[in-house]
Amino acid sequence: MLRKSPGLLALLVAGVWLLAPSVWAQPIGVIDQPTAGQTVSGVVKVSGFVLDFNTIDKIELLVDGNFANRADTNLPRADVLEVFPTYANSATPNPGWVSSFLASRFPNGPHAVSIRVTESSQAVTIIGPITVLIDNSINQAPFGYIDIPGPAGVEGANGSFPVSGWALDNEDVDHIDFLMDGQIVAGAVGRGLPSTAIYGTTRPDVHAAFPDVPNSLFSGFQANVDTTKLINGVHLLSVRVTDNLGASRVIGTRTVQIINNGANLPPFGQIDFPLDKASLFCTTINVGIPSPCTPDICGFVLSNVVAGWALDVGARLDHGQVSYVELLLDGAILANTRTDCVQTATGGLVNCYGINRPDVARSYSGYVNADNAGFNFAFGLITSSTDASGQIAITRQTADPTIFDVVGFTRPGKHTIAVRVGDEEEALTQIGAMSVDVLCDPTGADFPAFGYIDTPSDYQFIDGIFTVFGWAFDFNGVQRIEVDVDGQVVGNATYGLSRPDVPRNDPRVPSVSVGFAFQLDTTRLSDSEHDLVIYVVDSTFGTPRRTEIGRRKFVVNNNVLTHR
């Protein structure tokens, strides 16, 4: 049964009055939180609902009759529609709203809180006021929410277990403790300080609800708990947040059932580069394909790079250590880090596991080999203009970066790259697979563009005006960068931004001016999952080549309640 707020019950009592047609022409609503006469301090959350048969343009929060903030609207309120089902098919099927203000901006004493509802016709209705008592001498404890795991908890957790959510304070969050059965298993100190968890990830939904709170955009937390350090069974997870004045609060608890055994503890990780649907380099030569392919015969062969990270956890006899990583193309093994790892003349590692990844160590502090969890593969694709069959040789880089051994053959078109990881107990798992395109230019002069989308990350929640950011390079020059959302080009990105990190990490890129940025207006998109694709149009004379460098999935989150 849905719990009804006092304000909702008051409207229900007045239900006969609400049936009058004249009333239907104007919005009705309630301020649920705070309640009249309540003493408040710190961050004051103000929430409620507005019902209207006309389209609402905006809802604004007023304190003492003055504008304080614009409310986040269109939030689901099933309890309201249960009482007023007539509005389910109205212009306000999601009548909830939420906003907030900082009590410290006002003197102690009584203050009037109301909302101003503006319809699309610009007709204005005031709802409220209610009177609250501000007492700035009270230090408000931090508050927040555990998103993962959800309120129902989780059954059958094993291996690495993620915990994520958000936390805020009107002053600042000093640290966050993650506890299992009352014992601290991870902790985040400040934003970016050495910790076994992370605090400060972006949360646009929290910022929308609490725009006045400093750093509300960077209020997310994340911890990865190694469950193999706990006995199998049911445990109580809790998250405790402490502010810089010493006030603390447990913002939530979850029940977690842990079941660990060697069979369900495979390695895990991800492929960072390339992105899904990228195009691979293919070099065309004018002679038959030799093996090895040396510079005097093949010339300069461009490498295709596959990079990422992998980790493993263990329980009891399974010691939890990544033993090897394999790169596969269409299911065929191209390289194995245990047998094919080479160190180049410049000191770099190719077809190897064990590359330093401080970012992984930060997210998975305490995990075996987390600081050296990276892998890096390089392979070439070569076709011969003298071969009418069009087959493409797959080559693997040797210790000499200019010499490649032929390890197989493939054809033009769509292919699948995958990475498989094995641990010391021979538990084998595929940690990622992606679609790539291979199209060889017969002239050997037009290579596809390549690059990366830094933001958004996959399935990142974004809102408002969001900056799409990344880098791209084409050997024939970049004419423009097209930003495609759900199959439609929405604009061209600004190109040529300085990215000194790119040539430092990718020797194929000779310039620092390869960055791009685009301001994406998410308010023109639905609150749902979307596809982002970046296309590079090169500067080739005649018919420019248009290359897809990758795809990201993101979720627009302009009007989603923060659960509390």
What is the 3-state secondary structure of 38-99? CEECCEEEEEEEEECCCCEEEEEEEECCEEEEECEEEECCHHHHHHCHHHHHCCCCCCEEEE
Q: Can you say how many angstroms the Cα of residue 407 is from the centroid of all Cα atoms in its chain?
A: 37
- pLDDT band, residue 316 (cuts 50/70/90): very low
pLDDT at 134: 95
Q: How many angstroms separate the CA atoms of 53 and 119, rounded?
A: 10
DSSP annotation string for 169-180 = -SS-EEEEEEEE
Q: Is the pLDDT of residue 18 over 50?
A: no
Rounded CA gap, 33 and 77, in Å?
14
CATH architecture of 6-134: Sandwich (2.60)
Tell me: pLDDT of 416 over 70.
Answer: yes
Residue with more model confidence, 194 or 356: 356
Express each pLDDT in 235-247 by its tens digit.
Answer: 999 999 999 888 9
3-class SS of residue 424: coil
The whole-chain average pLDDT of the chain stands at 86
In which band, very low, low, confident or very high, does the pLDDT at 11 lie, cut at 50, 70 and 90?
A: low
Res 14: pLDDT: 45
Kindly indicate the confidence band of residue 125, based on its pLDDT and cuts at 50, 70 and 90: very high
Please indicate whether the domains covering 143-260 and 447-564 agree at the CATH topology level: yes
**Which H or E run contains 251?**
strand 248-258
- Indicate the residue type of 243: D
DSSP β-bridge partners for residue 551: 533
User: Residue 194: what are its φ and ψ, rounded to 5°?
Assistant: -55, 120
Task: Report the helix count and the strand count for the chain, using DSSP H and E.
Answer: 9, 40
Secondary structure of residue 263 in the 3-state scheme: helix
**Residue 463 backbone zone (phi > 0: left; psi -120 to 50: alpha; other: beta):** beta
Backbone angles phi, psi at 297, to 5 degrees: -105, -45
- The CA distance from 510 to 274, in Å, is 19
- Note the pLDDT tens digit of each residue in 458-507: 888 888 788 999 999 998 899 999 999 999 999 999 999 999 999 988 88
Q: Domain limits of the chain?
A: 6-134, 143-260, 267-445, 447-564
DSSP state of 403: -
Q: How far apart are CA 314 and CA 81, in angstroms?
A: 50
Q: Give dist(CA 385, CA 396) in Å, integer.
A: 21
* pLDDT tens by residue, 540-562: 776 788 989 889 999 887 765 55
What CA–CA distance (Å, rounded) separates 180 from 178?
7
Q: Which amino acid makes up residue 90?
A: S
Tell me the C-alpha distance between 95 and 82, whole Å.
12
Cα 329 from Cα 335, distance rounded (Å): 10
Which candidate, 229, 253, 239, 250, places its Cα nearest to that of 157? 229
| pLDDT at position 442 | 66
Task: Please report, rounded to a whole number, the percentage of residues in the chain having pLDDT higher than 70.
Answer: 91
**What topology is assigned to 447-564 in CATH?**
Immunoglobulin-like (2.60.40)
Backbone angles phi, psi at 230, to 5 degrees: -115, 155
CATH 2.40.33.20 fits 143-260, yes or no: no
Residue 320's pLDDT is 63
317 pLDDT above the threshold of 80: no
**Looking at 106-115, 232-241, 392-401, 409-418, which range is the least confident one?**
392-401
pLDDT at 266: 79
d(C-alpha 128, C-alpha 65), whole Å: 10
The domain over range 267-445 is classified in CATH as 3.40.50.2000:
no
pLDDT single digits (tens) 78-92? 899 999 998 988 889
